């Protein structure tokens, strides 16, 4: 997160062309960022309790925005003590202030992907993977280029594999509905998402490997160990606070699960790992980054967003659904535009 007092002290405009000098002074008013972090230790803990239990996430931000009459203010973000060394942040809740996060001269992004803390590197093979690297770090550009290579080399497989995997999923759900009158979507969606990513990126079909259909469950458990400090799972506060929000869950509990994922990616991504070596990245570090990018970033996004998209389509009514049905059809040329 950005340092709190300097975040908006020196506003800058992007320099595209040399502008004519002007004698009119800037009319922008420089204002101190409102808000309060409270007393050390106590303030972060109180904000954590408000965020998870007393107010909830949305009310937490809304109440402070109303209190300070500002969409930019200081606050403590979970988890706080003892997981996060510095929970102090500047909250940005509007479109004008948000772009400052892309200014690397004002905001350092080192070790801050999950929030104000960083999960143990024991969960990622001992490496700080790309998501936790600041753009100024040497490895950042190398690993970023490796992922661009992965996307580029997979471009012709993305749409066909998506169509194939999700067609299989929906046909299976239709069969279950016809037989039982109901079908579970969540597990089927997770398996389809994992199969799609493995087949599109690496040309590997998980059910045909030692991993079988265990991939989604292993990923979910591994990701939970990283995000537990900023989650609530509905347990009583007296149980959930010390269990999830005060101390990190021990990585050794998912070591064997993660090893299975690593072995699958190490075996399936040989051509990508060959390219990594050409870029000066060790195969081991590259593989751990592929696991993270595929399982945490991509799979996590599909797991959450795809069901949400279907929910809104399902509730949108027959007119939109009919339009989508008319626009869809056999994927004879997936690379051609409409």
Same domain? 86 vs 150: no
Same domain? 165 vs 264: yes
Same domain? 70 vs 216: no
Does residue 82 lie in a domain region? yes
Rounded average pLDDT over 78-93: 95
Does residue 117 lie in a domain region? no
Does residue 169 lie in a domain region? yes
Mean pLDDT value across the chain:
89
Please give the pLDDT value at position 7.
34
In the chain, the number of structural domains is: 2
Same domain? 288 vs 181: yes
Q: Best-predicted range by mean pLDDT among 4-13, 107-116, 158-167, 315-324?
A: 158-167
Same domain? 97 vs 164: no
Same domain? 187 vs 285: yes
Question: pLDDT tens across 234-249, in order?
Answer: 999 999 999 999 999 9
Same domain? 170 vs 271: yes
Rounded average pLDDT over 139-152: 97
Rounded average pLDDT over 2-7: 35
Cβ neighbours for 205, distance < 8 A, ≥ 6 positions apart = 195, 198, 199
Q: Picking from 20-24, 125-129, 266-270, 309-313, which range would have the lowest pLDDT averaged per residue?
A: 20-24
Same domain? 164 vs 302: yes
**Which among 49, 83, 107 is the end of a domain?**
107
Please give the pLDDT value at position 334.
46
Same domain? 289 vs 219: yes
Does residue 133 lie in a domain region? no
Does residue 338 lie in a domain region? no
Does residue 252 lie in a domain region? yes
Same domain? 145 vs 291: yes
Please give the pLDDT value at position 325.
84
Instruction: Band the pLDDT of 337: cuts 50, 70, 90.
Output: very low
**Which among 107, 127, 160 is the end of a domain?**
107
CATH of the domain at 308: 1.10.630.10
Same domain? 100 vs 199: no
Does residue 321 lie in a domain region? yes
Instruction: Band the pLDDT of 149: cuts 50, 70, 90.
Output: very high
Residue 172 has pLDDT above 70, yes or no: yes
Does residue 191 lie in a domain region? yes
Same domain? 59 vs 146: no
Please give the pLDDT value at position 11.
33
Residue 278 has pLDDT above 60, yes or no: yes
Domain with 148 in it: 140-327
H, E, C per residue of the chain = CCCCCCCCCCCCCCCCCCCCCCCCCCCCCCCCCCECCCCCCHHHHHHHHHHHHHCCHHHHHHHHHHHHCCCEEEEECCCCCCCCCCCEEEEECCCCCHHHHHCCCCCCCCCCCCCCCCCCHHHHCCCCCHHHCCCCCHHHHHHHHHHHHHHHHCCCCHHHHHHHHHHHHHHHHHHHHHHHCCCCHHHHHHHHHHHHHHHHHHCCCHHHCCCCCCHHHHHHHHHHHHHHHHCCCCCCHHHHHHHHHHCCCCHHHHHHHHHHHHHHHHHHCHHHHHHHHHCCCCHHHHHHHHHHHHHHHHHHHHHHHHHHHHHHHHHCCHHHHHHHHHHCCCCCCCCCCC
Question: pLDDT tens across 290-326, in order?
Answer: 999 999 999 999 998 888 998 899 899 999 989 988 8
């Amino acid at each position: 997160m950005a340092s709190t007092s300097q975040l908006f002290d020196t506003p800058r405009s992007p320099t595209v062309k040399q502008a004519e000098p002007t004698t009119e002074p800037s009319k922008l008013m420089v204002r101190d960022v409102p808000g309060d972090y409270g007393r050390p230790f106590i303030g972060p803990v109180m904000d954590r309790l408000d965020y998870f239990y007393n107010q909830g996430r949305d009310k937490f931000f809304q109440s402070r925005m109303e209190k300070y009459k500002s969409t930019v203010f200081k606050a403590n973000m979970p988890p706080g003590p003892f997981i996060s060394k510095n929970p102090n942040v500047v909250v940005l809740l509007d479109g004008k202030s948000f772009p400052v996060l892309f200014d690397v001269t004002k905001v350092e992004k080192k070790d801050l992907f999950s929030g104000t803390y960083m999960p143990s590197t024991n969960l990622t093979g001992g490496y700080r993977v790309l998501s936790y690297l600041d753009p100024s770090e040497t490895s950042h550009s190398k690993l970023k280029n490796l992922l661009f290579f992965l996307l580029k080399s997979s471009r012709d497989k993305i749409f066909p594999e998506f169509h194939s995997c999700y067609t299989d999923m929906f046909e299976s759900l239709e069969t279950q509905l016809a037989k039982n009158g109901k079908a579970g979507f969540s597990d089927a969606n997770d398996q389809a998402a994992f199969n799609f990513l493995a087949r599109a990126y690496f040309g590997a079909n998980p059910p045909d490997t030692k991993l079988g259909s265990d991939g989604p469950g292993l990923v979910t458990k591994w990701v939970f160990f990283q995000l537990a400090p900023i989650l609530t799972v509905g347990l009583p506060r007296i149980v959930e606070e010390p269990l999830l929000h005060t101390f990190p869950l021990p990585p050794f509990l998912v070591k064997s699960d993660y090893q299975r994922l690593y072995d699958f990616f190490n075996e399936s991504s040989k051509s990508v790992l060959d390219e990594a070596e050409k870029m000066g990245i060790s195969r081991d570090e590259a593989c751990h980054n592929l696991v993270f990018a595929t399982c945490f970033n991509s799979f996590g996004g599909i797991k959450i967003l795809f069901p949400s998209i279907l929910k809104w389509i399902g509730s949108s009514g027959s007119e939109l659904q009919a339009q989508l049905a008319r626009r869809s059809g056999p994927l004879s040329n997936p690379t051609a535009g409409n």
